[in-house]
């Protein structure tokens, strides 16, 4: 169990609302839908109402720093069925890349691979006290596009299972190109912070507001702050895009 699951949840029952994609850039086709993830008619482009309001604030800040740039939405709301699908898919991908056979893995090999997967993917727990962040409608994965709509280079792709995904991986690099990667990651972080979001410690692309991870991060930066989560697992009512 990750430490943020110790944070209590006081569900506010705020509804999921659609992200108006005309206001943002977005990845199309949606990467998990393209893999066959079982959304069952629900849309990944939903968040809680306050989260959307704060997303507008974040993009406004970004455009004050870089005219014409936009946030590009990669993923937002994720039903538990999709979380399970992506954990399983990632596990199988790691197994294949290692040249192994899932049917003949030793228990030690299986646990080693699961540990790697769960470093970046939340376990698809059904326990309402420990919801995966994306199932709450409070977490969002995103990046930046420039004034002509091209993705800004961040130094690694979203969902990459490697230390390059850590937000500050390039902070001490003396390579000019890698310094640009870090500058772009910082701009994304500053923009999202302007909306009140906090960043996942190991994922440059993952931000949240109001969930358990957000509250736990608040407490880490201010030990006297007893922040709690206001969003638990959302009612799965997000309609199809």
**pLDDT score recorded for residue 200:** 98
At residue 225, the pLDDT reads 85
Query: Is the dihedral angle over the CA atoms 90, 93, 99, 102 positive or is it negative?
Result: positive
At 219 the pLDDT is 94
pLDDT given for residue 235 in this prediction: 67
List, for residues 66-114, the tens digit of each pLDDT value.
Answer: 999 999 999 999 999 999 999 999 999 999 999 999 999 999 999 999 9
Active-site annotation, residues: 203
Per-residue confidence (pLDDT) for residue 239, from 0 to 100: 46
CATH of domain 3-221: 3.30.1380.10
Q: What is the pLDDT of residues 13-24, one digit of tens each?
A: 999 999 999 999
User: pTM (2 decimals)?
Assistant: 0.94
Q: Where are the domains of the chain?
A: 3-221
Count CA atoms closer than 13 A to 27's CA, side-chain side.
Answer: 18
Residue 208 to residue 132: CA distance in whole angstroms: 12
Q: How far apart are CA 43 and CA 111, in angstroms?
A: 32
Helix 176-194 / helix 49-65 crossing angle, nearest 10 deg: 130
Residues whose CB falls within 8 Å of the CB of residue 25, separated by 6 or more in sequence, listed in order: 70, 71, 72, 73, 145, 149
Instruction: Extract the residue ranges of the chain whose pLDDT is less than 50.
Output: 237-241
CB 68: neighbour CB atoms within 10 A?
A: 11
């Amino acid at each position: 169990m990750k430490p943020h699951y110790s944070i209590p949840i006081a569900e506010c029952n705020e509804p999921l609302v659609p992200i108006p994609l005309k206001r943002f850039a977005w990845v199309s086709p949606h990467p998990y839908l393209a893999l066959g993830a079982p959304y069952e008619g629900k849309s990944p482009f939903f968040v809680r109402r306050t989260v959307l309001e704060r997303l507008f604030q974040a993009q406004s800040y970004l455009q004050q720093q870089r005219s014409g740039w936009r946030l590009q939405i990669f993923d937002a709301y994720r039903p538990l069925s999709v979380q399970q699908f992506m954990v399983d898919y990632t596990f199988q991908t790691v197994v294949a890349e290692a040249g192994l056979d899932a049917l003949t893995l030793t228990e030690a090999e299986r646990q080693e691979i699961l540990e790697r997967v769960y470093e970046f993917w939340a376990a698809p727990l059904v326990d309402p006290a420990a919801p995966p962040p994306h199932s709450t409608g409070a977490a969002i994965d995103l990046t930046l596009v420039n004034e002509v709509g091209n993705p800004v280079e961040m130094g690694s792709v979203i969902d990459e299972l490697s230390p390059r995904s850590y937000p500050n991986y390039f902070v001490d690099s003396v390579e000019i190109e890698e310094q640009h990667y870090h500058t772009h990651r910082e701009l994304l972080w500053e923009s999202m912070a302007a909306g009140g979001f906090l960043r996942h410690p190991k994922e440059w692309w993952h931000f949240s507001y109001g969930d358990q991870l957000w509250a736990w991060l608040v407490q880490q930066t201010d030990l006297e702050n007893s922040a709690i989560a206001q969003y638990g697992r959302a009612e799965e009512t997000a309609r199809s895009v």
